[in-house]
Amino acid sequence: MTLPIMEDPRRVAPAAARNRDPIMAALRHLLPAEGLVLEVASGTGEHCAYFAQSLPGLVFQPSDPDAESRASIDAWCAGIPNIRPALALDAAAVDWPLEHAAAVLCINMIHIAPWSATPGLLRGAARLLPPGAPLILYGPYRREGVPTASSNEEFDASLRERNPEWGLRRLEDVAAAAAAEGLGLGKVLEMPANNLLVMFRR
Ligand SMILES: C[S@@+](CC[C@H](N)C(=O)[O-])C[C@H]1O[C@@H](n2cnc3c(N)ncnc32)[C@H](O)[C@@H]1O
């Protein structure tokens, strides 16, 4: 009898291992001490597994619209007590499959999705979060009056080649869309490899 070979659903994003510690160091200061953290666009799930183990006082709710990503997330997060099973969540959708969160986190999504995902993310986060709670974004941006690093220009060109609706966003455009949803721009932290960590508060 031949048994089916079970493939390991865990996927690996090499960037996640590189950026997880600097992001974690910032999250320690920005996340609340307790409550539910919704991660939008969890991807492989490596970040969520790492952050949840480092911050056991919080409960993490990973999500991704992609079914293979959700299988990877659940495999990476299996056995970690403060992580819920991954939800199917499209940031651009009107309905999100949960009602409340103490914080919302979204890493490296808004430039790798059509622009509609950004106002969707901001609208959804504003609906879920209580007053004063944070929405934390991480990734590369363009900024008015700041030259864009050549590595980010190359990255932007490669994204647009893959999908003309993708590409680096202007921080000012994201902040304006956030303000329209009642989210005020808080901290903007310079991160390694020309990324920013941007915090909004409801
Ligand atoms: C570059 S990966 C980043 C994954 C992970 N956050 C990380 O940093 O390793 C982009 C992720 O965004 C997700 N994504 C794309 N469009 C989305 C949308 N409209 N709503 C939520 N997630 C989306 C993709 O499925 C993918 O998992």
Mean pLDDT for 66-81 is 98
CA of 150 to the centre of ligand 1 (A): 23
Q: What would the 3-class secondary structure string for 105-129 be?
A: EEECCCCCCCCCHHHHHHHHHHHHC
Q: Residue 158 in contact with residue 169, Cβ under 8 Å?
A: no
* Residue 107 CA, closest ligand 1 atom number: 6
List the beta bridge partners of residue 201.
Answer: 134, 184
CA of 40 to the centre of ligand 1 (A): 7
Read off the pLDDT band of 26 (50, 70, 90).
Answer: very high
Angstrom distance (rounded) from CA 54 to CA 24? 8
Read off the pLDDT band of 54 (50, 70, 90).
Answer: very high
Mean pLDDT for 193-201 is 97
Question: Residue 155 CB: number of other CB atoms within 10 A?
Answer: 18
Residues 6+ apart with CB under 8 A from 129: 101, 102, 103, 104, 135, 202
CA of 90 to the centre of ligand 1 (A): 9
Q: Whose CA is nearest to atom 27 of ligand 1?
A: 43
Read off the pLDDT band of 2 (50, 70, 90).
Answer: confident
Read off the pLDDT band of 90 (50, 70, 90).
Answer: very high
CA of 111 to the centre of ligand 1 (A): 9
CA of 2 to the centre of ligand 1 (A): 37
| Site to substitute for ligand 1 among 89, 112, 165, most atoms within 8 A of C-beta | 112
Q: Which of 62, 39, 50 is nearest to 16 (CA)?
A: 50
List the beta bridge partners of residue 146.
Answer: 143
**pLDDT 10s digits, 114-163:** 999 999 999 999 999 999 999 999 999 999 999 999 999 999 999 999 99
User: How is the chain split into domains, by residue range?
Assistant: 14-201
| Site to substitute for ligand 1 among 66, 69, 109, most atoms within 8 A of C-beta | 109
Check if CATH label 3.40.50.150 holds for domain 14-201: yes
Which protein residues are within 6 Å of ligand 1, measured from CB? 13, 16, 40-44, 47, 64-66, 69, 90-92, 107-109, 112-113, 117
CA of 109 to the centre of ligand 1 (A): 5
Mean pLDDT for 86-114 is 98
DSSP string spanning 14-73?
HHHHHHHHHHHHHHHHHS-SSEEEEEES-TTSHHHHHHHHH-TTEEEE-B-S-HHHHHHH
Indicate whether 94 pLDDT > 70: yes
Q: Is the dihedral of CA 10, 16, 17, 20 positive or negative?
A: negative
For residue 6, what pLDDT is reported? 78
For residue 197, what pLDDT is reported? 98
Grouping H, G, I as helix, E, B as strand and the rest as coil, residue 189 is strand
